[in-house]
A and B are shown apart, each in its own frame.
Chain A
Amino acid sequence: MRYNKIALYGLLCVAAVLILAPVFIMVSTSLKSMDEIRNGSIFTLPVDPGFGAWGKAWFGDCAKTLGEKCGGLSSSFLTSVKIVIPALFLSVGLGAVTGYTLAVWKMKGANIMFAALLVGMFIPPQVTLYPLIIMVRELGIFGSIPGLVLVHVIWGVAFTTMMFRNFFKTVPQDLLKAARIDGAGFWPLFWYVMLPLSLPILGVAMILQFTYIWNDFLLGLTFGGRSGQPMTVALNNLVGSQFGEKEYNVNMAATMLTALPTLAVYLLSGRLFVRGIAAGAVKG
């Protein structure tokens, strides 16, 4: 019995170490100097930890780039924030209203529409990429933040609708009847009764949408152009486009900076993230 317990915790610790090792390598590399990286091993702790690489990753290294921009992540961080906030609220808001309507207001074709949305979540974005480019270009918002917000809402609404619809389906019928008798119409029922009920699911949807939008790469790459580059795209460019010797410490610092917001949300939200990921796992 005791040996079993030891083996159990042993296996769990091995798995935890394997999962954490790359994260550890990322952090420790970002704190090392290039000399130490060249001479040492990826497993060692930094001898003389410093945030020099972080500074370079954030503000850019003007000696290494041509032109007026220094190539740091700071401007793309701002871009990402400007994309995430409106896209987050719009996609979650639209999903909440659509999910509520599909679940509560019995309408012909509601189930067909829900099925169509459900299937839509599995469509690889590559399949509709080009028509979407044309649409966004025709609207005159290609290569801008509003354009990216729009495509994020389009790609997020299926997922948020599914979460809210499945939640609102569990609300007892009697409660809806009581609200109708009290005279609550479409919006009052949503605003005063359903939305307050859905606060936990609202939190889950917010956290997951934040993670998905922040972590997106393909849409940012396609629709961002030069001025609307989100952080993931900037990171990929930074890692792929250095002249001369690659500065791995800067790369890792930039990676760390890109991962930090979602990592922070994950660690702070704890159980909500776990719950959401299981409930909303359908999103790829």
Chain B
Amino acid sequence: MQRINVLEYLDEIAARLPDKPAFCGDDLQLCFGTLDRRSRAVGTALALGGFYGEPVVVFMGKGPAAVSAFFGTLRAGCFYVPLDEEMPRHRIELIFGMLRPRAVIYDRSTRAALEGLDFHGTALLYDDLIQTEVDAPALHKIRAKAIDTDPIYVVFTSGSTGKPKGVAACHRSVIDYVENLSAVLRIDEDTIFGNQAPLYVDACLKELFPTLMFGATTWFVPKSYFSFPSKLVEFLNAKRVNTVCWVASAFTMVAALRILDEIRPEYLRTIAFGSEVFPGKQLNAWRKACPQARFLNLYGPTEATGMSCYYELPRDFDGDKVPIGGPFRNTDVFLLDENNARVEAPGLPGEICIRGTCLTLGYYADPERTAQSFTQNPLNTHFDEKIYRTGDLAQYNDVGELMFLSRKDYQIKRAGYRIELGEIESAAHSVEGVHAACCLFDDAKKKIVLCYAGTISRAELNEALKTKLPQYMMPNVTHQLETLPLTPNGKIDRNGLKERYMV
């Protein structure tokens, strides 16, 4: 029968492989049986608390426990909102302002941060929740009411106005995405993932749900290994990791620091990368180190649940730019020009548009911004059909594969994170003593440059920004100017600033 809820995967796998390790971290390993029990305990506790059909914030350190809390919120018929323990207070408060959550699940590592917030709902300690005696009939009653268009999570991404955007996705989209992604990645019961993506971005779906679906195992790679990587490959080998889906910069760093000269990943058979360019030199170093592995480039926006397109590198690939290829099964990806006409000829740019079950529910509590990006398909005037306009420009190559070109706006990618420069500007404007601010991105050096005019010093501004922005959004360079140059139309002269400050 057709699946309508991701918990069906958990129910089945917990019955079939109760003792197999599911999610493993530094200090905790959860097998499918325990994961299932914990999710039922958390679900029961939430249900007893009267929470249903609403967002539950999971504000916990990264690891297996947080994953079990996600599934627990689903057991209660709620949807989870993962927040990062390192997220600055200002951003969490913006998110809370939009969500108005009545319940937050926290752990010891986030207790102090939670106490500092203006939150008047119910704070639930994870360690207490998992002690709850499971009320199976209550959980069964909740599940009987579930439909596949119910939301499963809200994840927050950068917003150009300074307000993060919460993308809500439903069970049906996640099931569709994960089934088709897993077929391409050839996930099975022997798959051992090495996870890099944070739990508060959609990228981690690639590990979380295939693990449940196939009875695979996910190891969380310690975050510090991605800055100090000599232990990284050792870790992959020790855990027999055979499948990795990382941002390209993680692979690039390992190769650039010559780690692969010293030690080779012995078990990798599937290497998926995405979110940004993988430079040819480093890509080839990985291909040489792992000649047995398949290499796949993935592309997709959070708004279409995860990844929408893939390209598997042929063994003899020697191009300097890796295509994003073509769509996953049951997803349609096409290009539209400025006049909303379909672009089919090779070499002509168009905006990447997506249609299919993968389309998410839009931005949480934000109908205005949802309507801007999720629009009626202009190629169809006969019935209601939504497409998502990504704002990404691409073109077809001579053999009909999609090649990514650039952004239409001021959204950038840095270390795999999607960032709106406008959000950084907005954070700078909100600092007292800043009169004007303009944020630029040096694409060649991957540096965020913030130019501002005002009375505050650069050091003071940086201190203030740290309380408002996550670390990955912090400017690399700030320039204090007398005034910001303007164009004849009275707008800030971005090009002029680029010429002056990005050489």
Instruction: Tell me, yes or no, whether A binds B.
Output: no
Chain B residues close to A by CB (< 8 Å): none
